Amino acid sequence: MNARLATYLALCIVLTSNYLGVEAVAAREGDGSSSSAQAHKLAAQVREMSRTNAEAAYAIFFTMLADKVVLHHVPATPTEGPVDGSYISNGARREDSAAHRAMPDFKVELKEIVATGDEVKVLRIWRGTGIDGQPIFVTTRVEFELHDGKIIAITATWDGDPRQRQRLEATLKQRGGAES
């Protein structure tokens, strides 16, 4: 199959899926629960938006936070357990702003955006140049658990070489500074 035909077929599938409605696709793929259908719809929305703007796509999650969200990091951080949703949302914005200040070439990619039951799982990749002039490549696996249309739990697991994460944190601390 040539590339033009493959592209045309992919476009037809996307247009047909959008025409039929994401809810119908999600209901077929999910376990039938409302939260499962919501997770599939959210994953489809984030996948679509991430094609053009990964940061805006990732920000969608932070508009859906419950009043209290159970936050868990691997490895653990000082902020664990039930946390105000607004604290998480504001923190995510501050973190992204600090990354852009620290690394003018900062980029985020979202990969492996999948819904499983009532969860949406995302591989978030950070790229930029560290304070030492070397490339930074950090991956985080994030799981968002939904209930009644709200995210009630987030688990963020740092993958890969811990030295990359340390270089990222040092770069953010030295160049990103505190947001005013």
Chain mean pLDDT for the chain: 80
Return the number of other C-beta atoms located less than 10 Å from residue 65's C-beta.
21
> What is the pLDDT at residue 77?
85
What are the tens digits of pLDDT across the range 71-109? 999 988 888 999 999 888 888 888 888 888 889 899 989
Element (DSSP H or E) covering residue 40: helix 34-50
> What pTM was computed for the model?
0.75
What does 8-34 look like in DSSP terms, one character per residue?
A: HHHHHHHHHHHHH-HHHHHHHHS-SSH
CB burial string 21-33: b at 16+ within 10 A, e below: ebeebbbebbeee
- CATH classification number, 3-176, choose in 3.40.50.300, 3.30.420.40, 3.10.450.50, 3.90.79.10: 3.10.450.50
Domain ranges of the chain: 3-176
Rg of the Cα trace of the chain? 18
